[in-house]
Amino acid sequence: MRFLTAELLAQLIDAHAAALELFAAQWSQSPADVVQEAFVELARQPQRPQNVAAWLYRVVRHRAYDEHRADVRRRRHEAAAAAKNDRWFRAATQGQLDAHDASAALQGLPEKLREVLLARIWGGLTFEQIGEITQTSAATAFRRHQEALALLRTRLGIPCLDQKKTSTT
Amino acid sequence: MSGSKENFDDVNDLSDDERHVEQLLAALPLRESRINRDETMFQAGRASASAAQHSRAPRLRRWKMAAGTICAAAAGLLAGILISAPQQRADVLPPPTGSVREKAAESPLPIASEPADRNGEVAVGESPSLLDLRLGMLRRAGDELWLAQIDSWAPAESSSAGGPSERRRPIPATYGSFAGRLLEAEEHQ
């Protein structure tokens, strides 16, 4: 490996693999394969990308898109769509949101909003990086993120903080 | 994830409600990665090795092309030197020894006859430097071609033996005439 040592690769897998799989699962039926291919592609790079995480998200997005476009896999996607909802999160023991409901609400979001939200919350990317990946401006990415949060709050029935305070008092 | 938490701190434009929703979502535990870590490491190592090998091949090809270009340029230069070398070498050749007439007599080659009509000859030119150069080449060459050129002058001399007016006739500037002048000069000496 040129810049990518075995240790660095192991660290990257630990840090990003799960979130990348979630990101790829928006389009792909085999997100683990897509993420693995992205890591292999990273090992082929002669130089270290400026931001490895953003690079990985971009590659995963492209590959997952390509896979999604394939007719054969699209048929499989349709067949497995029903059983897909609870695949994104583990059942939360301490969180306030139900994993199944959250998965369903996220999957019900428009694709452009959902990819920004996933990259932002679980990928930890900045809006500039998300803008590069989605080929939009940072402002557009931020606006989509806000829109996605508003939709999720409505669909998941999350009360506003003010309402919460008044209800508790 | 730590990265997402850092980003939450950076964003001031989000309202408290939006941040709250973000934090609730971020608290959802992701499913564990299903990628085969060992296989990924192996595939990555193999891909890296093959990529390094592929990157070396074009470098070697570039070196070969550069070496080929240099060799071709050197060969062209050498050929140019070799082509231009005989003219330079003619300058350093020793002048032919012995009488030109003796050489003409000894030559086994048939003697070419010059056309009777001298007006049809091609004039060498009247430039002194060019004429000198031609004369010098004739003086130094001494080969059969040179002797043949002498013969082209010889009939003119024999025909001019009939009368003094024809003998003094100006001879056009041909190889044969230059050879004739050379012979005359040798005879005077």
- Nearest by CB to residue B28, choosing from A41, A42, A97, is A97
- Nearest by CB to residue A46, choosing from B36, B37, B55, is B55
Residue A167 confidence class, pLDDT cut points 50, 70, 90: low
Q: Kindly give, in sequence order, each residue whose CB lies less than 8 Å from that of residue B127, ignoring residues fewer than 6 positions away.
A: none
Residues of A in contact with B7 (CB under 8 A): 120, 124-126
Q: How far apart are CA B65 and CA B85, in angstroms?
A: 30
Question: Is B31 an 8 Å CB contact of chain A?
Answer: yes
Residue A140 confidence class, pLDDT cut points 50, 70, 90: very high
State the pLDDT at residue B3. Answer: 46
State the pLDDT at residue A62. Answer: 92
In this predicted model, which residue has the larger pLDDT, B16 or A92? B16
Q: How far apart are CA B65 and CA A48, in angstroms?
A: 30
Structure tokens at B90: 């003619």
B17 to each of A26, B58, B129, how far by Cα in Å?
A: 26, 57, 102
From A156, A100, A11, select the one nearest B22 (Cα to Cα): A156
Q: How far apart are CA B72 and CA B75, in angstroms?
A: 5
Reported pTM: 0.53
Q: What is the 3-state secondary structure (H, E, C) of A38-103?
A: HHHHHHHCCCCCCCHHHHHHHHHHHHHHHHHHCHHHHHHHHHHCHHHHHHCECCCCCCCCCHHHHH
The answer, yes or no, to whether residue A74 has pLDDT greater than 90, is: no
Chain B CA closest to residue A105: B25
Task: Quote ipTM for the complex.
Answer: 0.76
Q: How far apart are CA A65 and CA A101, in angstroms?
A: 25
Whether B18 and A15 lie within 8 Å, measured CB to CB: no
- Nearest by CB to residue A92, choosing from B28, B37, B51, is B28
State the pLDDT at residue B94. Answer: 60
State the pLDDT at residue A37. Answer: 92
pLDDT digits (tens, 9 = 90+) for B9-57: 455 578 888 888 888 888 888 888 888 888 888 888 888 888 777 776 6
Identify the weakest region by mean pLDDT among A65-79, A109-123, B24-38: A65-79
Whether B40 and A40 lie within 8 Å, measured CB to CB: yes
Whether A22 and B44 lie within 8 Å, measured CB to CB: no
State the pLDDT at residue B161. Answer: 47
Query: What are the residue ranges in chain B where pLDDT is below 50?
Result: 1-6, 8-9, 116-117, 120, 122, 154, 156-163, 165-166
